[in-house]
Structure 1
Amino acid sequence: MLSAQSLFQEILDDDASFRLFCSIAASGEAQGGWENGRIAALVPASQRDLAPRIVRHGADEDKHGRIFNALLKKRGLSPVDVPAGTDYTMLLERQGIGLAHEQLKRDEPLSEQDVITYLAHSRVTEQRASEQMRLLLKHFADHPELGRAVKMISNDEDNHLAYCHEELLRFARAGHGRLIQRILRESAHAEIRVYRDVSLAVMADMGAILHWSRAKSALLAAGIHAVYAYERLIGWRRMVTLEPPARRDALGGAAPAEPEFA
């Protein structure tokens, strides 16, 4: 039977497909780390209290990138170049979602609206990251190679999502509710399109590596399109709601001193 667990196990068991998977993941996390670092450096004076949390967010993303590279190293593998069609972060930027890298490269302070844009974009993408890691946690928490990494990254992604909820609710109470909802809706609709396209590209690359049959590839593509149809119809709503998180001040204080080796 074709399931998420069996599919990922197949990718995990093959060095070439595992190498591509970890390379894509490490690249995306590294980009997230850089973006958060730049945003923290450019936060306007009115939001300087937020900077340490953004720094913590970026540090977590950098840590995740190192973890995926460590998983490669343990197998004696090195990262590969990420195919353009699988670059989730850059494809979102091309859709006009989030803060553009060109803006972040300039040493110009961000506006309060830029900070709201960053948080709303993060709220949507962290929803996806949290769900994906919980899926891996469900099936691979006890895996001797992946288990430790999956538990650590999943916990971090849940913290990031809680932080976005909390900060956006703070801005909503300050009178930015309509702006937040508009950006959340725009980000969610763009994200589900990009996620579909990236999923199709990743599955095509994995299929070529693992020599999947046409029938298997077609079945997986149909499943991806079905998820997109559901998310376009109603699933996007889970990405735009805001509620007080169970984890309060999830990124407050210093990062926990825990070993990050995979």
Structure 2
Amino acid sequence: MLSAKSLFQEILDNDESFRLFCSIAAGGEAQGGWENGRIAALVPDGERALAPKITRHGADEDKHGRIFNALLRKRGLKPVPVPPETDYTMLLERQGIGLAHEKLKADEPLTVLDIVVYLAHSRVTEQRACEQMELLRRHFGEHPDLGRAVRMIAADEDNHLAYCHEELLRLAYAGHGPAIQRTLRACALAEIRVHRDVSLAVMARMGRILGWSRARSAVLMAGIHAVYAYERLAGWRRMVSLRMPERRDALGGPANTAPEFA
């Protein structure tokens, strides 16, 4: 039976597919850590209170990258280069989503609108991350090798999403509501396209590594296209709604450095 659990178990059981999975994940987290670090350094004066939270966000992303690399080391594996067609963060930037790296590499302070763009981009991508980690937590939260890492990353992603909701609502109350909604919609529609393309590329590579039949690959590809069709029709709306989270100030404290994985 083809299910999310059986599919990931197959990827987990093979060294080469597991190495590709962890390498892609680690690369994306490291990129997110760098981006948040630069944004924290460039926060405009009126939003300086946000800088420690952005720094915490980046520290969490760096930690996640270390965790995925530690999982590789535990199996005696080394990371592989991330194939460009599977580089989620790079492809989003090429779509004009989030803050351009050229802007982040400069030393000019950001604007409040830039902070809106950053938070809207994060709200959409953290929604995806939360959903993916919740799936792994449900199926592998008690796994002897992966369980602790999965639970830790999933908890962090929940905090990141809560933080994005709270800060965007704060800015909406300050008069930036229309800009927030426009940016969220653009981010969501671009993200679902990129997620589809990356998913197709990753599954194609996994299929070659694991020797999947054409029929099995076709079923998986059809499933990815079906998810995109649903998200394009209505599913994207879950990525643009805002509600005050139950946990307030989710990134208000120091980051958990996860020394057991560092």
Whether the TM-score (by the shorter chain) exceeds 0.5 is yes
Residue by residue over 1:52-94, the C-alpha shift from the partner in whole angstroms, topping out at 9 and shown as x without a partner, is 0000000000000000000000000000000000000010000
- 2:186 maps to 186
1:52 match:
52
Distance in 1 of aligned mates of 2:93 and 2:256: 31
Kindly state the Cα deviation for residue 254 of structure 1 after the two structures are TM-superposed: 1.7
SS, match of residue 168 in structure 2: helix
Q: Cα RMSD between the aligned structures?
A: 0.9
- CA 1:195/1:257 → structure 2, altered by over 3 Å: closer, same or farther? closer
Distance (whole Å) between structure 2 residues aligned to residue 65 and residue 186 of structure 1: 27
Matched length: 262
Q: Does 1:225 align with 2:225?
A: yes
Equivalent position of 1:127 in the other structure? 127
Query: Matched residues in 1 for 2:88 and 2:190: separation?
Result: 11
Taking the aligned partners of 1:241 and 1:259, their CA distance within structure 2 comes to 35
What is the CA-CA distance between 1:234 and the residue it aligns to?
A: 0.5
Cα displacement string for residues 97-135 of structure 1 (whole angstroms, at most 9, x for unaligned residues): 000111100111001100010000000000000000000
CA distance in 1, matches of 2:187, 2:21: 25
AA partner of residue 164 (structure 1): C
- Structure 1 gap ranges (5+): none
Q: How does 1:22-171 map to 2 (within 5 A)?
A: 22-171=22-171
1:63 touches 1:260 (CA, 8 Å); kept in 2? Answer: no
CA distance in structure 2 between the aligned counterparts of 1:256 and 1:141, rounded to whole angstroms: 19
Secondary structure of the equivalent of 1:246? coil
Does the CA-based 8 Å contact 1:97-1:187 persist in structure 2?
A: yes
- Aligned counterparts of 1:68 and 1:196: Cα–Cα separation in 2: 23
Contact 1:23 1:69 in 2 (8 A): yes
Code of the residue aligned with 2:187 in structure 1: it is S
Deviation at 1:255, TM superposition (A): 2.1
Q: Within 2, Cα distance between the matches of 1:256 and 1:249?
A: 15
User: What is the 5 A alignment of 1:212-251?
Assistant: 212-251=212-251
After superposition, the C-alpha distances for 1:132-163 in whole angstroms (9 at most, x for unaligned) are: 00000000011011000000000000000000
Structure 2 contact 63–258 (Cα < 8 Å) conserved: no
Cα gap change, 1:44 to 1:122, in 2 (>3 Å): same
2:63–2:257: 8 Å Cα contact kept in structure 1?
A: no
Cα offset, 1:257, TM superposition: 5.9
How much has 1:198 moved relative to structure 2?
A: 0.1
The answer for the alignment partner of 1:255 in structure 2 is 255
Q: Deviations over 1:198-242 (max 9, x none)?
A: 000000000000010000000000000000000000000000000
Return the TM-score normalized by structure 2: 0.99
Q: CA deviation at 1:259?
A: 3.7
The whole-number CA distance in structure 2 between the counterparts of 1:10 and 1:138 is 17
Q: Tell me the distance in 2 between the aligned counterparts of 1:158 and 1:254.
A: 16
How far off its partner does 1:258 sit? Answer: 4.8
Seen in structure 2, the aligned counterparts of structure 1 residues 256 and 68 have a Cα distance that, compared at 3 Å, is closer
- Cα gap change, 1:260 to 1:244, in 2 (>3 Å): farther
Q: Which runs of 4+ in 1 moved over 4 A?
A: none
Give the structure 2 partner of residue 2 of structure 1: 2
1:159-213 CA deviation, whole Å, 9 max, x = no partner? 0000000000000000000000000000000000000000000000000000100
Which residue of structure 2 aligns with residue 199 of structure 1? Answer: 199
Contact 2:60–2:256 at 8 Å: present in 1 too? no
Q: TM-score, normalised by structure 1?
A: 0.99
Q: Displacement, 1:260?
A: 4.2
Identity %: 78
Report the Cα distance in structure 2 between the residues aligned to 1:253 and 1:27, rounded to whole angstroms: 25
Structure 2 unmatched ranges of 5 or more: none
Q: Following the alignment from structure 2 to structure 1, what is the Cα–Cα distance between the partners of residues 255 and 11?
A: 32
